[in-house]
Structure formats: structure tokens, C-alpha cells
Homo-oligomer: A and B are copies of this chain.
Amino acid sequence: MPDLLAVPTLSSIQEAADRIQDLVHRTPLLQSTSLNALSGADLYFKCENFQRVGAFKARGAANAVLKLSEEMRQKGVATHSSGNHAAALARAAGSVGIPAYIVMPTSAPEIKKKAVKAYGGEIIFCAPTLEARESTLQEVVERTGATFIPPYDHPDVVEGQGTCALEMWEQEGGFDTIVCPVGGGGLLGGTAIVSKALRPEVRVIAAEPAGADDAFRSFQAKERIPMVGPNTLADGLLTSLGELNFQLLLTHVDDVLTVTDAQIIQAMRLIYERLKIVVEPSCAVPLAAILRYPERFKGQKIGIILSGGNVDLDKLPFRL
């Protein structure tokens, strides 16, 4: 288990940014006149869809890999994931020449398997259950001595994800509000730490699909309530908030807003039409929240984290 007390700070996130700079892109911050008019606010979109491996996950994975001791590096890294973290970890490990063992359900999409292999990762298949994933991972770690790098609930991962917001503040300061999607909470945690440290009066808002609203319910109840049976097209946000990230939510986040899938699709369409960029449904959740509760955002300068662009083009939700 990672040391949950080793919580990242602004300065540790600044160090992470230096550490990972050769392994990640500095992504652009985009604006749209028409989206500003529509929202009545001044919106800045931080485009992690242009990040390496197509998502912010490249940052946390790179940071975790580069923080390993020389001895740990020799034995490589391992994780269980069928999503962006798998590709990100395989790529980070490959770029420093160490093995990455990725436990994936046999049912994972072909394109995800291909991506991991293309980056030089070794896939270990398991049955498509959480138990099988965990026990297979355990076996792999015991056999290889590899270090387990979890997808979100780990200080080094949160620290890496925080470099995204750090860049955004460097590119354009003075935000009144930051809106960030929340799934496992690694991106949100890092974003909140950086933003509150740089400008204590900033509001940090988490945006979440109503069909996977464990952060909303946990925030209200002040205790972590894991998600059971999530149901949303925002497939990057299905996971439950981690323990470390729940603590960061309570400490640094001002509110959690939820949106329906219909609102997510509408916001996603606006991003495609107005910003002319390809994003995954999870990315549209913050804009959907701003458009659902306009009175909470009007007249403000707002930073929005667009988390990634790995979407199945055959299943875009636009066709009527």
C-alpha cells in the first residue's frame, strides 16, 4: 500500500513537472467565443486530449515510474487496467526501458490491447471480474517483483496528474473557478492541491455523471460510499473515488455537481462543434455542469480540465 500520508504539495507537484517534462506534452489551453457567449463566462479548456497516449494519465504514470528507485526499476511495474492508465504505464515504462506487466480482462477492447503492446507492455489476461484482476495482479507482482502502480489512488500518481493544472495556471492565471471531472479522483486531487495553493480563494468544483455519483454522495455524507453498478456513457468515470482522493475531496473541493448523460452528450457536441476537437465523453462533464447551473458560473473566469480524447469513433453518441 502507498503511504497515504505522503500527500503531494504544490512544491512536490512542481518537482514532478520538471521530472516528467521529457515524457509528456505541454498541452494547449483553448477558448471559444461562442462557448463564452453561451455560458456567460470566460472559459479556458486545458486540452489533455492532445496529451501523449491521448489522456492526462500519461502524467501520473510517468511520475510514478520516474520516482522508482534503481532497484525497483530493474523489476518493472505492474497494474490492472483496461483503460488509459494501462497504455500510459506501458509507455512510461517503455520510455525508460523497464518492463510493464498489465493485467487485463480477456474482454478488453482490441484497441486497448494493441496500444499496450505497441508501447512494449506485456499483457497478462484474466477473467473479467474484479477478484480475478486482483488475484492475477497479486500473482504477477509475486512472480516478477514488479511495483504495483495503481491507476489513481497513489500519491505519486496524484502528484503527476497535478502537473496538468499547474501548467494551466502558468498558461493563464487568475481563475475564479476550476471545474474538473471526477472518477477515481487522481486528476481532481492533483488539480485541487495546485489550485488552492496558488490561489486560496479559487473555487474547485468536481463534475460527475449522475450515473456514477459516488463522489457526490460521499461528499454529502462525509464518508466514502463506493459506487455499485455505475451506468453512464462517460466510461472514464465509472470507478469509485479512492481513499486518498476522498480525503483530498473533503479537504480541497468546494462542491460536487452531477449531470445526466443527455447533458453530457449535449456538452460533448458543443465541444466538437465549437472547439473542433475530439474528446471522450468524460471530458464533457465539466462543461455540462456549467451549462446545467449557469448562475453559479456567470461572469467568472473558469479553467476546465478536458481529460482525454480516446473515444470509439464508431460509437459517437451524436447520430440522431
Chain A contact residues, CB within 8 Å of chain B: 28, 49-50, 54, 269, 272-273, 276-279, 309, 313-316, 318-320
- Inter-chain CA distance A54–B32, complex, in Å, is 11
Q: How far is the CB of A246 from chain B (nearest CB, A)?
A: 31
Q: Nearest chain-B residue to A279 (Cβ)?
A: B276
Contact A276 B314, CB 8 Å, known A28-B28, A319-B319: no
Number of identical protomers? 2
Q: Is the CB of B309 within 8 A of A314?
A: no
Q: Is the CB of A276 within 8 A of B313?
A: no
Q: Is the CB of A276 within 8 A of B273?
A: no
Q: Is the CB of A318 within 8 A of B309?
A: no
Contact A276 B277, CB 8 Å, known A313-B316, A313-B318, A318-B314: yes
Q: Is the CB of B318 within 8 A of A276?
A: no
Chain B residues with Cβ below 8 Å from A272 are: 278, 313
Q: How far is the CB of A29 from chain B (nearest CB, A)?
A: 12
Chain B residues with Cβ below 8 Å from A269 are: 313
A-B complex: 10 closest residue pairs judged by Cβ atoms: A276-B309, A313-B318, A276-B278, A49-B276, A272-B278, A314-B319, A314-B320, A277-B277, A314-B318, A272-B313
Chain B residues with Cβ below 8 Å from A273 are: 278, 313
- Inter-chain CA distance A273–B278, complex, in Å, is 8
Chain B residues with Cβ below 8 Å from A277 are: 276-278
Q: Is the CB of A50 within 8 A of B320?
A: no
Q: How far is the CB of A274 from chain B (nearest CB, A)?
A: 9
- Inter-chain CA distance A277–B316, complex, in Å, is 14
